[in-house]
Amino acid sequence: MMPEPYLAKPAAAISILQQYGIRTQKKYGQNFLIDAHIPEKIVEAAGVTGSDCVLEIGPGIGTLTQYLAARAGRVIAVEVDTGLIPVLSETLAEYENTLVISADVLKVDLKKLIEDHAQDRPVKVVANLPYYITTPILMSMLEAQLPVLSYTLMVQKEVADRMQAAPGTKDYGALSLAVQYHTVPEIVLQVSPGCFLPKPKVGSTVIRLTSRPARLAENEKEALFRIIRAVFSQRRKTLYNSLRHAAELSYTAGQITAALESCRLRPDIRGEALSLEQFIELEKALEQ
């Protein structure tokens, strides 16, 4: 039987930090959870069961990791801060189903890591992502097409808003479309700064991203996101002008006009008004 998680109690977290002489490092965007209700709700939102393997990014001192280990069959935790590895050796010592990897997640072959250590279990990603590098980490995982059922992530509120934004809103952009192409996003929890040590200056959100099957062949997906990047790098331009003058695109005026007509899109519409489905339709029309 797994021991009860204890690190979410402020006194326990402070004691561990003092014991090891650890100070939070801004370069890693470290804010440690000190509210037991939050990790409980995260694990619940992720739907973690004893048959699952959980991949955790940035376990810190192991607060959320303890809750994951108490519920999951297997936990793989990747931590970039080498100064926290001895701490994790202590705080996770009684959780025999947990493996800590000392590495930069952006430099790890996560697909091989899962293959080597998940023990053929269904995989779910759960993480309190460093806010300064949330997007690169998330995009690297999505683009790697990991064999993952879902991603349950604590991120900065404004980033979560962008992930699930709808067409025509101020938050809608390339990140929204990338996340919605690969997953179905759902905001599940708002978290106040007071739940962390030290307190961040911004609010946090837990968002669950449920993986969806690939919708396009790889070459078509690459073409789709070239179009999306071109459109949102010139957000104030019309869709026609964005496509016509983007450096990474080589469509002729005739091709663009014919594609827009085929998709029943006005040439003066802006790209931010298009849904993911419309972008996919446009990519297919342009390639034809």
CA–CA distance, 190 with 203 (Å, rounded to integer)? 8
Q: So what's the pLDDT on residue 30? A: 62
Query: What's the confidence (pLDDT) of residue 27?
Result: 54
- The tokens describing 9, both together, are 């109690």
Q: Look at residue 240 in the predicted model and tell me its pLDDT.
A: 96
Q: How far apart are CA 7 and CA 79, in angstroms?
A: 17
Handedness of CA 158, 161, 163, 169 (dihedral sign): negative
- In this predicted structure, what is the pLDDT of residue 6? 87
pLDDT per residue as tens, the chain (288 positions): 778 888 888 888 888 888 988 776 555 556 778 788 899 999 999 999 999 999 999 999 999 999 999 999 999 999 999 999 999 999 999 999 999 999 999 999 999 999 999 999 999 999 998 888 999 999 999 999 999 999 999 999 999 999 999 999 999 999 999 999 999 999 999 999 888 877 888 889 999 999 999 999 999 999 999 999 999 998 889 999 999 999 899 999 999 999 999 999 998 999 999 999 999 999 999 998
Tell me the domains of the chain and their CATH numbers. Answer: 10-211 (3.40.50.150), 218-287 (1.10.8.100)
Task: Count the neighbouring beta carbons within 10 Å of the beta carbon of residue 96.
Answer: 9
Q: How many whole angstroms separate alpha carbon 105 and alpha carbon 261?
A: 44
Q: Are 69 and 2 in contact (CB under 8 A)?
A: yes
Identify the pLDDT of residue 147.
96
- The whole-angstrom separation of Cα 288 and Cα 283 is 9
Using DSSP's 3-state secondary structure scheme, residue 54 falls into strand
| Cα gap 39→31, rounded to integer Å | 14
Q: How far apart are CA 193 and CA 203, in angstroms?
A: 6
Residue appearing with tokens 């106040």: 192
C-alpha span between 153 and 208 (Å, rounded): 6
β-pairing verdict for 150-156 and 183-191: unpaired
Please list the alpha-helical segments (H only) found in the chain: 10-19, 37-46, 63-71, 85-91, 110-117, 134-143, 157-163, 174-182, 218-233, 239-245, 253-262, 276-287
Q: Give CA–CA dist 106/134, Å, rounded.
A: 11
Residue-wise over 4-29: b if at least 16 C-beta within 10 A, else e?
ebebbeeebbeebbeeeebeeeeebb
The CB-side HSE value for 54 (13 A sphere, CA atoms) comes to 30
The predicted pLDDT at position 202 comes to: 86
